[in-house]
Amino acid sequence: MNREQISRIAHADHPIKSPLDDDSVRRLLERGLPRGDERVLDLGCGGGEWLLRALATRRRLHAEGVDISEDALAQARRAASDLGVQERLILHHQEAGDFVSSHSFDLVLSVGATHAFGGLLPTLEAARKHLAPGGRVLIGEGFWDRAPSQEAIEMLGDFTDLATTVDRVVADGWTPVGGHVSTRRELDDYEWACWGSLASWALDHPADPDSSHALTTATTRRSEWLRVYRDTWGFVCLVLRRASDRP
Ligand SMILES: C[S@@+](CC[C@H](N)C(=O)[O-])C[C@H]1O[C@@H](n2cnc3c(N)ncnc32)[C@H](O)[C@@H]1O
């Protein structure tokens, strides 16, 4: 069982691969898509869940997603077809950093995928290259809610605290026009959903050769979350405009 298969099973009950509930996703999309006829790009789109929700609720919207996971993109393609939005969705199987387009986008999304660019500011720099004048970026990134252990830093990466994260974004020329800090409940629901779904799959498929690997992975990841980073890690989404876009 490879990482992509594990990820697919783990996210079966939480298709947004980030710690946000449905209402938070809806509100952030409303903030990022004020008109409803925008062109949207998602860098590191995974199963395309943000784009699918945007397309399903806005009939004049067009969307493109980029991801290196063929498995996740195949899932996005199937879901788009089920929703009848496939003609307004283009999926690109490639490194997000290599993506080029002949047109620009009104909203560039990148949630939980800043590692693809080497961090928050390089992700914003990449997003900016794709942004139409007056466009918005919706970015989701981790932060330290309290001082992390060395083990947590090694496991999740080196973030800053929330205020410093936002200060860095503002110093880079962006103005937050909306945002959401994942609640304790959203953070917990996400982890329980992921490791619960994987454990359930293992228990439901005892004869599968991958069953014991899946159960061990679920147990290990749940324990790492509870022991190493549950009390220190947070997640923030920001809706951003360029400060220089002022009329
Ligand atoms: C945590 S998931 C988030 C998916 C989606 N944004 C969401 O919130 O549901 C991170 C995604 O980034 C993708 N990814 C990682 N490195 C990438 C890269 N270099 N180029 C494109 N996608 C990448 C992974 O395949 C995965 O689908």
Q: What is the CA angle 42-44-50, rounded to 5?
A: 50
| Residue 151 maps to a domain | no
- In a domain? residue 81: yes
Calculate mean pLDDT across residues 116-132.
97
pLDDT value for 246: 54
The stretches of the chain forming alpha helices (DSSP H) are 3-10, 22-32, 49-57, 70-83, 120-129, 150-156, 162-171, 184-204, 211-224
Boundaries of domain holding 33? 3-145+157-240
67, 93, 123, 237: residue to mutate for ligand 1 pocket, most atoms within 8 A of CB = 67
Taking CB atoms within 8 Å and a gap of at least 24, the contacts of 150-158 are: 151/228, 152/228, 152/229, 152/232, 152/233, 155/224, 155/228, 155/229, 156/229, 156/233, 157/115
| 247 within a domain of the structure (yes/no) | no
Cα 244 to Cα 241: distance, rounded to the nearest angstrom: 8
Per-residue pLDDT reduced to its tens digit, 16-42: 999 999 999 999 999 999 999 999 999
CATH number where 219 lies: 3.40.50.150
Q: What is the pTM of this model?
A: 0.96
- Whether residue 152 lies inside any domain: the answer is no
Q: How far is the CA of 114 from the centre of ligand 1 (A)?
A: 8
Q: Which residue has the tokens 């950093």?
A: 97
Mean pLDDT of the chain: 96
Q: Is 69 in the pocket of ligand 1 (CB under 6 A)?
A: yes
Query: Does residue 246 lie in a domain region?
Result: no
The HSE-up count of residue 93 (CA atoms within 13 Å, CB side) is 9
Number of domains in the chain: 1
Query: Among candidates 246, 240, 35, which has minimal Cα distance to 125?
Result: 240
Residue 15 lies in a domain: yes
A 10 A CB-CB count for 114 gives: 23
Cα–Cα distance for residue pair 61/59, rounded to 1 Å: 6
For the chain, what's the residue count?
A: 247
User: Which pLDDT value is given to residue 1?
Assistant: 85
Question: Within a domain: residue 245?
Answer: no
| Average pLDDT for 204-214 | 96
Percent share of the chain, pLDDT over 90: 96
Instruction: Confirm if 96 and 64 have CB atoms less than 8 A apart.
Output: no
What would the mean pLDDT of 235-242 be, rounded to a whole number? 97
In angstroms, what is the span from residue 74 Cα to ligand 1's centroid? Answer: 14
Q: In whole angstroms, give the CA distance from residue 19 to residue 236.
A: 9
| In the predicted structure, residue 243 carries a pLDDT above the cut 80 | no
Residue 47: is its pLDDT beyond 90? Answer: yes
- pLDDT value of position 157: 93
Domain membership of residue 226 (yes or no) is: yes
Q: Residue 96: CB within 6 Å of ligand 1? A: yes
